[in-house]
Homo-oligomer: A and B are copies of this chain.
Amino acid sequence: MCRWMAYSGDPILAADLLFRPVHSLIDQSLHSQLGATTTNGDGFGIGWYGEGSRPAVFKSIEPAWNDENLRELAAQLRTRLLFAHIRASTGTPVQRSNCHPFRHGNWLFMHNGSLAGFHDYKRELMLAVDPTLYPDVEGSTDSEALFFLALTFGLVDDPIAALSRAVGWVERTAARHGVPDPVQMTVATTDGVSMWAFRYSSAHLSRSLFYSTDVRTLVALHPEVEVLHQLGEETRFVVSEPLRELPGAWNEVAESSCVVVRPGADEFVPFAPEAPART
């Protein structure tokens, strides 16, 4: 029950992404229009790539709209790949370790949605996590459990297959506990080069997810919108909600699909839960 934004493209000031757009993610933290909750005030986080290959994360349990440090940092930070997430808790504590994006090595992961009935089968999911990864779980959310399952099922080698196995595993585990349609997710993950965004829910009623039209097309459509001229050609946004009204700018990611954003042409792939390879 959150909102997120992923940016990939030429290095850009984070403030231009987080604060400048009319309906920026920070604005959405107070006034979400498409989300299940209008207020997303239970912490936030950003992750980005800069020095070294390991991404940095900045997270806080304050509402994003209040955080002075976020404003200061955003005004200084230039990055070619930014993840940002605002949280609306579904019950787990508001603490830094429950804020997205989660990080493992050079990977980032963030999630909007929930695993229904998670409390009932949390232990089984956690047992399925690779024992060498288990002690690195820091928080208590269903989202982090999903991330660690995906890591266990090979996220680093094949993100789409890994998510597919992780989601399949959750669905079968939930079914054993009599929980139907457990998964609701829009997920973004990245290794710092490519970016994968998933839209899926067991009941095929997924939360909204949009990706941006390529910049050349946008400039042709709206030559009068100045900000577009400053964006590089490889610019791509994937967002829970459009950042501003602009006809032709935002395309809905299809139900049960994955967008792969990487240098060159994007890819659109159907997404479905699979049986995990290792059972």
Contacts and interface: CB of A to CB of B under 8 A. Distances in A.
A22 B134 CA distance: 33
Nearest to A61: B62
Interface in A101-135: 119-120, 122-123, 126-127, 131, 134-135
Interface in A1-48: 13, 30, 38-39, 41-42, 48
A170 interface: no
A89 interface: yes
Interface size, A (range): 35 or more
Contact of A96 (B75, B93, B134): B93
A258 B39 CA distance: 34
A134 B138 contact: no
A46 to B, nearest CB: 10
Contacts of A93: 68, 95-97, 138
Interface of A: 13, 30, 38-39, 41-42, 48, 50-52, 56-63, 65-66, 68-69, 72-73, 75-78, 89, 93-97, 119-120, 122-123, 126-127, 131, 134-135, 137-140
